[in-house]
Amino acid sequence: MENKETKRTDVNKLGEFGLIDHLTHDIVLQNKSSRRGIGDDAAVIDHGDLQTVVSSDMLVEGIHFDMMYTPLKHLGYKSVIVNLSDIYAMNARPTQITVSIAFSNRYSVEAIDELYEGILLACKLYNVDLVGGDTTSSPKGLIISITAIGEAKNEDIVYRDGAQSGDIICVSGDLGAAYLGLQILEREKQIYLEAPQVQPDLENQEYCLRRFLKPEARKDTIEYFAKHGFKPTSMIDISDGLASELFHICKQSDVGAYIEEDKVSIQPDAYQLALKFNVNPITCALNGGEDYELLFTVKPDDLEKVRFMPGVYLIGDILDKKEGINLHSSGGNIYPLEAQGWQHFKAE
The residue (of 182 and 184) whose beta carbon lies closer to ligand ADP is: 182
Coil/strand/helix, residue 91: coil
Q: Tell the smallest beta-carbon distance from residue 295 to ligand ADP (Å).
A: 12
23 binds, among ligand ADP, Mg ion, none (CB under 5 to 8 A by kind): ligand ADP
Q: In this structure, is the dihedral angle defined by the CA atoms of residues 310, 311, 315 and 316, taken in order, positive or negative?
A: negative
Q: How far is the CB of 34 from ligand ADP (least distance, A)?
A: 12
Using the minimum distance from each CB to ligand ADP, give the nearer residue, 87 or 273: 87
37/268 with CB nearer ligand ADP:
37
Per partner kind, with CB cut-offs from 5 to 8 A, the member of Mg ion, ligand ADP, none near residue 20 is: ligand ADP
Cβ at position 42, least distance to ligand ADP in Å: 7
Please identify, using beta-carbon distances, which residue of 205 and 233 lies nearer to Mg ion.
233
Per-residue interface string for the shown chain with Mg ion, residues 30-49, x marking contact by CB under 5 A = -----------x--------
Per-residue contact flags (x/-) with Mg ion for residues 219 to 248, judged by CB under 5 A: ------------------x-----------
Least Å distance between CB 211 and ligand ADP?
18
Of these partners, Mg ion, ligand ADP, none, which one is at the site of residue 39 (CB under 5 to 8 Å by kind)?
ligand ADP
74-110 burial by CB neighbour count: b if 16+ within 10 A, else e? bbbbbbbbbbbbbbbbbbbbbbbbbbbbbbeeebeee
Taking the alpha carbons at both ends of the chain, their separation in whole angstroms is 62
Which of the residues 154 through 193 are near Mg ion (CB under 5 A)? none
Q: Which of residues 50-109 bind Mg ion (CB under 5 A)?
A: 86
For residue 295, the one-letter residue type is: L
- Find out whether 259 and 328 touch, Cβ atoms under 8 Å: yes
Q: Considering only CA atoms, which of 46, 302, 261 is closest in space to residue 164? A: 302
CB of 20 to ligand ADP, least distance (A): 5
- 81 vs 59: CA distance, rounded Å: 12
Supply the minimum distance, in Å, between the C-beta of residue 45 and ligand ADP: 13
**CB closer to ligand ADP out of 44 and 180:** 44
In the complex, the residues that contact ligand ADP under the rule CB under 6 A are 20, 23-24, 38-41, 57, 86, 239
Judged by beta carbon, residue 86 or residue 114, the one nearer Mg ion is 86
For residue 192, the minimal CB distance to Mg ion (Å) is 33
Angle between helices 177-194 and 206-213 (to 10 degrees): 100
Cβ burial 226-254 (10 Å sphere, 16+ → b, else e):
eeeeebbbbbbbbbbbbbbbbbbbbebbe
**Percent of residues in the chain assigned helix, strand, coil, to nearest 5:** 35, 25, 40
Nearer residue to ligand ADP within complex by CB, 215 or 281: 215
293 binds, among Mg ion, ligand ADP, none (CB under 5 to 8 A by kind): none
Strands of the sheet with 34-36, listed across from one edge: 34-36, 43-47, 50-60, 142-153, 93-103, 129-137
Amino acid identity of residue 24, one-letter, is T
Work out the angle between the directed axes of helices 177-194 and 268-276 (0-180°, nearest 10): 50
**269 sits near Mg ion (criterion: CB under 5 A):** no
* Cα-based torsion angle of the residue sequence 294, 150, 212, 331 in order, rounded to the nearest 10 degrees: -10
The one of ligand ADP, Mg ion, none whose footprint includes residue 234, by CB under 5 to 8 A per kind, is: none
Residue 129 C-beta: closest distance to ligand ADP, Å: 21
Binding residues for Mg ion, per CB under 5 A? 41, 86, 237
